[in-house]
Structures are given as C-alpha cells and as structure tokens.
Amino acid sequence: MSGPRTLYDKIWDDHVAHQSEDGTCLLYIDRHLVHEVTSPQAFEGLRMAGRPVRAPEKTIAVPDHNVPTTAGRDTHIDNEESRIQVEALDKNARDFGIHYYPVSDVRQGIVHIVGPEQGWTLPGMTVVCGDSHTATHGAFGSLAHGIGTSEVEHVLATQTLIQKKSKNMKVEITGHLRPGVTGKDITLSVIGVTGTAGGTGYVIEYCGQAIRDLSMEGRMTVCNMAIEGGARAGLIAPDEKTFAYVMGRPHAPKGAAWEAALAYWKTLFTDEGAHFDKVITLRGEDIAPVVTWGTSPEDVLPITGTVPSPSDFSGGKVEAVQRALDYMGLTAGQKLTDIQIDTVFIGSCTNGRIEDLRAAAAVLKGKKKKDGLRAMVVPGSGLVRAQAEEEGLAQIFIDAGFEWRLAGCSMCLAMNPDQLSPGERCAATSNRNFEGRQGRGGRTHLLSPAMAAAAAITGHLTDIRDLL
C-alpha cells in the first residue's frame, strides 16, 4: 500500500494472511485471550471436529467473569454452574496446552488486566478475546477487539479471523485536562458526543496532548470503552511511556529481541496526511468530571448537570429516556449531586488497575464511607492487589469501611455473588449502566475512581473538585 497510512492501516497491513477478491481477509491473530464464560462451546466445537489449537503458545486463559472475590474460592466455588465453567476452563487449558492462570495463582485477574501486566500485549499486535472490552489492549497500539464464541473457535483452529477492514476515525483530545478529570471522564465524554452507535464500523485512534499526557493505565481506560461507542477497536500510538511500561514484563522481549521490537514499534504511528473517514475533536479543558444518569453509556453529563427530560430528545430516544428515568427512579430536573447512593463499586477492566486504586485511596485517606453504605474494592488482578497492599492503599480502603476483595470482574457484570438488589443504586467505576447489568433492578451510575470514592464519603453523587 502506498501513500500515508494510519496506525490502524499499518497494523492491518502487517497481519493480512490471505485476501479474497471481495476484500474479505484472514487477519492473523498474535494473541488470543480466553476466559471461562465465552469459551466452553468453542473448545467443545474443536473436540467434536477433532481439531487442535493451532497456536497454543499464543493463547492465554484466565478465569475472571464468574469467580467469587471472597476467600476460599481456590478450593471451592459454591455456585454449581460457575464451578462447572471454571473447571471446564481448567480442563480445556490442560488438554489443549495453553497458558493458564488459575484462581490459585497470584497472577490471576481480569483478562484485560493480566494480558498487559504479564507482557502478553505488545505494540503492533493483533489481540482478540471473547469479550467486548478487549479494546483495552489498544492502549499499547495493538489492534484489539472482542469476538463471539464462534470466532473464538475460529481463532483457536486457524489463528486467524475473517475480517473486512473498518473505517478510520480520529478522536483528538487537545490541550490539558483540568484537576479532577481523568481518562474515564474523557472516554465517557467522547461517547456522550458520538453516541453508542457513533463508532459502528470504525476503528478509533485516540490522539492529542491530553491523551499523550495520560499514563498507560489511563490510556487503557480510554480504549476500554471504545466498544461502548460502538467502535470495533480503539488505538493509541505507542510512545516512550508504552515502552517503559512493557520493558521487563515476563513475556516482553529481552536483549537483542527487545531492540528489534523497539525499532519496529517506533514505526507505529499515523503518517502525516493519512486519511481519516471521521474526525472528532474535544478540548481537554472543556471536559468535566462526568457521571451517567440513564441506562446507556451515552447518557452522560457533567456532575454539575441536572437529570434531563425525555422532551430534550428526539426520535426513538424519547421513549428510551422515559424508560431509563423510570428504571433509574429519577425525575427530570433533579440535580445530579442530589442523587443518593447505596453502594460503591471500585474495580473492573475499566478502572481496576493500580493507578485507579491510588486515585480512590487519595480521596479516602483518613476518611470514612457514609454509614449504611455498602462499598467494595475489587482489584483487577492478584498482582494489583498485592501492590496496593504493599503501598498501604488496602489499609486506607479498609479503614474507610470498604470491603477489600480478591481479583475478578465481580459486580461489573454480576455473574458472581457480587450483585445489586432491585432498586439498589450504585456508583460504579465499571463500563455499563444497562438495565439489570449489576443485578436485576439495580441502578448504575458510571464514574471515575476518584468520583466513586467521593460518593462513598458523602453518600451522594459528588463533584470531586469540591474535595480537592
């Protein structure tokens, strides 16, 4: 391909194993991450067809979605169906010879936190997983997206995916973020602009000074929610921060291989003049700490706002907003900071990394959660948990009245025992506020870890800037 190329174009071009006349490609997959919920049927399919896993050395499995986050889970899981799924993953990992981190391993955690942490995720790679939040890995400049179980089976059998190329979208965040504003606020604000279908058919490249200024953890938060904007993937060009994060990780290249990799990684950027099909620009200074009020991630407003009215919208959204207000138990015109909460959940592949726990602990230090409120921290991995204990963060959470849990997806999707009851209202650092997402009838407000910590102290949604 000649002419200037985008980062996406470059990674795509380097992974086309076969192209048909109609443009349908077999895209080669460098890393395949696997968890217990979306893989059993895929392994069963392989067995029935007598097919092996083509590249077990590029396949990494870890149970995360429905593992309990309380002590004793390495010897027994009460819920029979969850136990069967975890046991099936144990067996499939063993039978097919793939890398595996069982719940008894300190490295176990949410698949999208374990991948980068162990150095499996590297710039310029193609990464897939039977989970929509695979977009997270795009923070390294790797093309990463979620797939269905049939595609999981396809990748296991062929190490490729049948794909047609997406369009290129650029999301630029210029300037600098103001105090109290985080990667979570960026990614939610972008969805507020594009809507949840705005990215459909696109791969997004996030760029601009405010993105460059983010840590790797912050960049992962931004890319993680690219899927919530409908995009196939989100990407950020690798830079010195990326290389520094990757260096020394267990599965990162070493020595001469590192030097060769680095030389290649430094070519991974969008060329001057490359074409984007769509461009969105936000000023970093204009982004405020935000929360969601409804049941779609696009239902987002600055914390200083008020609950909107269905009449503020048009088309199919009018009915959806009325339904959302009924479900959420909110009234149009209500101040967002007047919304009282019952529960605080800090964790998930969106905000379960060390920096997220540091941000929440900084707000909570020396303070207590409001009486009667339920609050929990679920670190994204066993290693994040260990590091937080070493840094004294765990003690801050415990002293503030939070439950300090073991690693997993937990209340983000409530497949394990961590669930909301009907009507229970939660300030959550996770990624989806859909009806029933955190438990039937549960009400979710998405926000940043610092905002979640602030809400835990006051008992209502709170502008973090008031506590700075």
- Whole-angstrom distance, CA of residue 72 vs CA of residue 91: 20
Cα-Cα-Cα-Cα dihedral sign, residues 63, 64, 68, 71:
positive
CB closer to another protein, 256 vs 371 = 256
- Does 320 engage in binding with another protein (CB under 8 A)? yes
Among residues 24, 267, 281, 331, the one that binds another protein under rule CB under 8 A = 24
329: closest CA among 424, 451, 428?
A: 424
Work out which of 115, 116, 124, 380 binds another protein, going by CB under 8 A: 124
- 200 is a site residue for another protein (CB under 8 A): yes
CA gap 110, 30 in Å, rounded: 19
Q: Which is nearer to another protein, 318 or 362 (CB)?
A: 318
Using the contact rule CB under 8 A, the part of the chain among 67-75, 269-277, 428-436, 449-457 near another protein is 428-436
Contact range with another protein by CB under 8 A, out of 100-108, 254-262, 400-408, 457-465:
254-262
Task: Say whether 295 sits in a helix, a strand or coil.
Answer: coil
Residue 160 φ/ψ, nearest 5 degrees: -135, 170
- Which residues between 224 and 243 bind another protein (CB under 8 A)? 228, 230-232
Which position among 6, 69, 108, 132 is part of the footprint of another protein (CB under 8 A)?
Answer: 132
- DSSP label of 459: S
Q: Which residues pair with 279 in a beta bridge?
A: 170
Is residue 47 close enough to count as binding another protein by CB under 8 A?
no
Kindly state the smallest distance separating residue 235's Cβ from another protein, in Å: 15
Which of 99, 271, 278, 434 binds another protein (CB under 8 A)? It is 434
Residues 388-427 that bind another protein (CB under 8 A): 413-415, 422
Per CB under 8 A, contacts with another protein among 144-183 are 145-151, 153-154, 157-160, 162, 164
Q: Is 51 in the site for another protein (CB under 8 A)?
A: yes
Regarding 6 and contact with another protein (CB under 8 A), the answer is: no
Q: Does 49 bind another protein (CB under 8 A)?
A: yes
**Sign, CA torsion 400/403/408/414:** negative
Cα gap 109→63, rounded to integer Å? 7
CA gap 299, 160 in Å, rounded: 36
Residue closest to 294 by CA, chosen among 377, 188, 419, 416: 188
Strands 59-61 and 31-34: parallel
Q: Which stretch binds another protein (CB under 8 A): 77-85, 304-312, 346-354, 386-394?
A: 77-85
CA distance 217 to 360: 14
